[in-house]
Structures are given as structure tokens and as C-alpha cells.
Amino acid sequence: MREVPVQFAMVPAKGPQRGCSLCHREIACITFELHFHRIRFYLVCQSPSSFSFLFLFFRFRATQYTCMLLRYLLEPKPDKEKVVTKLKKLESSVSTGRKWFRLGNVVHAVQATQQSIHATDLVPRFCLTLANLNRVVYFICDTVLWVRSVGLTSGINKEKWRLWAARHYYYSLLLSLVRDLYEISLQMEQAAQDKAKRDRSLSQDPLGYSVADEETEWLQSFLLLLFRSLRKHPPLLLDTVKNLCDLLNPLDQLGIYKSNPGIIGLGGLVSSVAGIITVAWPHLKLKIH
């Protein structure tokens, strides 16, 4: 296997600084760890569907969005300029590190497309297949942007390709959310049928439960049914939360709904944590039926 040179951008500390020396040491340690995992990626992540690949990818992603969130929270404070500067550098380093997963992401999206084609239910098969195809196009656009950023070519319209990437990522998330809503509707329908059976079994009792109040308060009944359905199916809850949080970024890039870096960072962090959970505990990943 060809060794990949990695340049370490470790800046030596200039001595303890009051109030933020601990933050500087922590950021330096995280930076070193990120460079270590870049090398580890080539050693243990040759299979894009492996546990190591997905786990490292979500760790990089979680670190990047954590830096974005912390930077947004610390920017208004006048005595945190140096910490904010280091967070910006760390965020940029992590973003560059995530580019190392580009080929694996493309292959993983292609494999997911092949799996979704064989889904038995028509709606998930249609939504997931189109969603994964859009993800493939998104990663291709992202690769073109990377080629432009490293200077391999200069005849690429950066803004146009960035817009295309954001649009296809947006379409992919929308289709994934449609699939989630379809699954939620099935679970709510099943929960409503179970509740109706229980109500019929109690209808002979004059002191039994009555649903008259729930029928007048349809919104409360709907939310209660939704809560019960998601509580019984954690994989569906995790997948829905992840897709909703991921949607904030393309909405902002396309100008559909503008958000500040704090909201985007928080959404990205929650989405990354949800991804780590599904990788660490595979039974919490939403299955394709």
C-alpha cells in the first residue's frame, strides 16, 4: 500500500495564557488526533461499508460541527479571539480531513442504491433509490469542487458546482424524509388500530374509557399517537431526526431558509451523534424492508 504523506500543522504554544491555555491544549490534542485518524483511514478503512469507515467519518463530522457551534458561541466574547481563531483552523483541518472519505462515500452511496432497488415496498424503494442517486451526484459535484480547490484545474465555475451539490443534497434529504414520513404513517396507523381494539374491548363497560374528548382535541390526539409510534421505534426516530438536522445546511446554502452558524453547527452535531449511535448499535439503524 502506498504511503500517503501527511503534513502536521501543529503550532507550538507560546506559553500559558490566562483564561484559555486549557482550550489551546485541548484543541492541539484534537488536531493531532485528527491527523492520526487520517493515516488510520488508509490502513483500516479500505471497505467503505465497514464499521471503521463510518465511525471515523461521523467522528470527523461531529468534531467539525462542534467547532462551528463553539466558535459561534465564543465569537461575541472579547477575550476569546485566540480560541476562536484556533477553532476556525481546527474546523478547516477537519473539513479537509473529511475530503479523504470522498471515494468511500461515493462507493457507499452506490451500494445503498443497489440495496434500495430490492426493497419490497414500493414507496421506500422509489424514495431511497432516488435519494441515493442524488447522493451519488452530490459526491461527484463535491469531488469536482475539491479538484478546483487543490488547483488541478481552473476552468470550473465554483459557485455553479457548489449550487448543484447543495441542490442534489437537498433532494436526497427530502426523499429520505418522505420515506420517514411514510414509515411513520404506517406505525401510526398500526397504533391507531391497536387503540381502537382496546376501546372496543372496553365499550361494554359503562365506566370504561371514552374517546369523545380526544375526538374534539384532534391535534393533541395526533401528537400523542405520533409520540407513541416513535417511542416504540427508535430507529425511525433516529433516522427522522438525523435527516431533519441535515436539512438545515442545504436550506441555508440554497437561500430557502437562512440559519446562523450556531443552528447549523448544533444540527450537524445532533445528526453526527445520531449517525454514531446507528453505527455503534446496528440494530438502531432503520432497515430497508
Asked if 80 contacts 74 with a C-beta cutoff of 8 angstroms, the reply is yes
Q: What is the tens place of the pLDDT at every residue in 94-105?
A: 877 776 677 777
Place of cell 469542487: 145
In angstroms, the CA 86 to CA 250 distance is 26
* CB of 45 closer than 8 Å to CB of 56: yes
C-alpha cell at 60: 470527523
* 5-14, 25-34, 72-81, 164-173: segment of lowest average pLDDT: 5-14
Model confidence at 148, pLDDT cuts 50, 70, 90, reads: confident
User: Where is pLDDT greater, at 138 or 197?
Assistant: 138
Helices marked H in 75-121: 81-98, 102-117
Rounded-to-integer distance, Cα 65 and Cα 269, Å: 5
Give the Cα separation of 149 and 94 in Å (integer): 16
